[in-house]
Structure 1
Amino acid sequence: MSTDTSPPVIVIGGGQAGLATAHVARALGLEPLVLEAADRPAGSWPHYYDSLTLFSPARRSALPGLPFPGDPDGYPGRDEVVAYLGDYAARLDADIRTGHRVERVAAGPDGFEVVTTGGEGFAAPMVVAATGAFSRPHRPRPPGLETFTGEVLHSAGYRSPEGFEGRRVVIVGGGNSAVQIGAELAAVARVTLATRRPLRFLAQKVLGRDMHLWLAWTGLDSAGWARPLLTGGKGTPVFDTGAYRAQIATGNPDRRPLFTRLDGDHVAWSDGARERVDAVLLATGYRADVDYLGGLGALDEAGRPLHRGGVSTTRPGLGYVGLEWQRSFASATLRGVGADARHVLTRLLGQTRGR
Structure 2
Amino acid sequence: MTPSLSTPNTSAWQLEPIEVDVAVLGAGQAGLAVAYYLRRAGLRAWTGYVLLDANPGPGGAWAHVWPSLRLFSPAEYSSLPGWPMPAPTGRGFPPAAHVVDYLTRYEDRYELPVHHEVRVTGVSRLDDDGDGRLLVQTTAGVWAARVVVSATGTWGRPFVPFYPGIDSFAGCQLHSAQYAGPQEFVGQRVVVVGGGNTGAQVLAELSEAARTTWVTARPPTFLPDDVDGRALFMAATARRQALDAGRPDPGGVASLGDVVMVPPVREARERGVLVARPMFSRLTRTGVEWSDCTAEEADVVLWCTGFRPDLAHLAPLGLRGAAGRIPTTGTRALAEPRLYLVGYGDWTGPGSATLIGVGRTARETVADLTARLEALPSAPRRLRQRPARSAEGVRHEGGLTSPR
Q: Structure 1 length normalisation: TM-score?
A: 0.90
Instruction: Say whether the 8 Å CA contact 1:201–1:245 is kept in structure 2.
Output: no
Taking the aligned partners of 2:225 and 2:23, their CA distance within structure 1 comes to 38
Give runs of aligned pairs for residues 273-292 of structure 1, distance below 5 A. Answer: 273-292=294-313
Deviations 1:168-225 (A, max 9, x none): 111111111110010000001121221111111112525xxx4525743883264584
Change (3 A) 1:336 1:169: same
1:47 aligned partner: 64
Matched residue, 2:10? none
Aligned to 2:351: 330
Please tell me whether residue 135 in structure 1 is matched to residue 156 in structure 2.
yes
Match of 1:105 in 2: 123
The alignment status of 1:117 with 2:139, answered yes or no, reads yes
Structure 2 residue runs without a partner (length 5+)? 1-13, 244-248, 377-404
Distance in 2, Cα, partners of 1:227 & 1:50: 35
Q: Which residue of 2 is the match for residue 9 of structure 1?
A: 22
Secondary structure of the 1:322 match is coil
SS at match of 2:199: helix
- Secondary structure class of the residue paired with 1:90: helix
SS of equivalent to 1:199? coil
Could you say which residue in structure 1 is the equivalent of 2:392? none
Does the C-alpha gap of structure 1 residues 3 and 94 become closer, same or farther in structure 2, counting only changes over 3 Å? farther
| Contact 1:172–1:282 (Cα < 8 Å) also in 2 | yes
Cα distance in 1 between the residues matched to 2:342 and 2:236: 23
Asked whether the equivalents of residues 172 and 280 of structure 1 are also in contact (C-alpha less than 8 Å), the reply is: yes
1:74 Cα shift?
Answer: 3.9
Say if 1:228 and 1:141 are closer, same or farther in 2 by CA, change over 3 A.
Answer: same
Cα distance between partner residues in 2 of 1:174 and 1:82: 26
CA contact (8 A) 1:8 1:124 kept: yes
Cα distance between partner residues in 2 of 1:18 and 1:335:
13
**Corresponding position: 1:95 with 2:113:** yes
Asked if the contact 1:223–1:329 (Cα under 8 Å) also holds between the matched residues in 2, the reply is no
Contact 1:227 1:329 in 2 (8 A): no
- Counterpart of 2:251? 228
Correspondent of 1:192 among 196, 213, 219? 213
Report the CA distance shift for 1:211/1:102 in structure 2 as closer, same or farther (over 3 A). closer
Q: Distance in 1 between matches of 2:360 and 2:209?
A: 41
Deviations along 1:7-33, whole A, 9 cap, x unmatched?
A: 211000111111111111111112311
Q: Which residue type is aligned with residue 61 of structure 1?
A: S
Distance change in 2, residues 1:230/1:149 (3 Å): same
2:202 to 153, 156, 181: 181
Shift of 1:328: 4.6
8 Å Cα contact 2:77-2:229 kept in structure 1: no
Helix, strand or coil: the match of 1:191? strand
Partners of 1:239 and 1:108 in 2: how far apart? 47
Alignment of 1:169-318 (within 5 A): 169-203=190-224, 205=226, 210-213=228-231, 215-216=233-234, 219-220=237-238, 222-223=240-241, 225=243, 226=249, 228-232=251-255, 237-241=258-262, 244=265, 247-248=268-269, 250-300=271-321, 303-318=324-339
Counterpart CA distance in 2 for 1:227 and 1:48 is 31
Matched residue pairs, number? 349
Q: CA deviation at 1:265?
A: 0.6
What's the CA shift for 1:247?
2.5
Over 3 Å counting, the alpha-carbon distance change for 1:126 and 1:219 in structure 2 is same
CA distance change for structure 1 residues 227 and 174 in 2, over 3 Å: closer, same or farther?
farther
Answer yes or no: is 1:155 the counterpart of 2:176. yes
Given that residues 235 and 252 in structure 2 are in contact (C-alpha distance below 8 angstroms), is that contact kept between their aligned partners in structure 1? no
SS at 1:335's partner residue?
coil
Alpha-carbon distance, 1:241 to partner:
4.7
Letter in 2 for 1:228: G
Pairwise CA RMSD of aligned residues?
A: 2.4
**CA distance change for structure 1 residues 313 and 147 in 2, over 3 Å: closer, same or farther?**
same
* Structure having the higher Rg: 2
Once the two structures are TM-superposed, the CA of residue 60 in structure 1 deviates from its matched residue by: 0.8
Segments of 5+ residues of structure 1 without an aligned counterpart are: none
**Taking every aligned residue pair, what percent have the same amino acid on both sides?**
38
Residue 20 of structure 1: which of 33, 39, 53 is its match? Answer: 33
**Alpha-carbon distance between aligned partners in 1 of 2:65 and 2:180, rounded to the nearest angstrom:** 7
**8 Å Cα contact 2:22/2:50 also seen in 1:** yes
Cα deviations by residue, 1:72-121 (Å, 9 ceiling, x for unpaired) = 98411111111111111111233211121111111125221111123x11
Give 1:240 deviation, angstroms. 1.0
Alignment CA distance shift 1:254-1:166 (3 Å): farther
Give how far 1:5 is off: 4.4
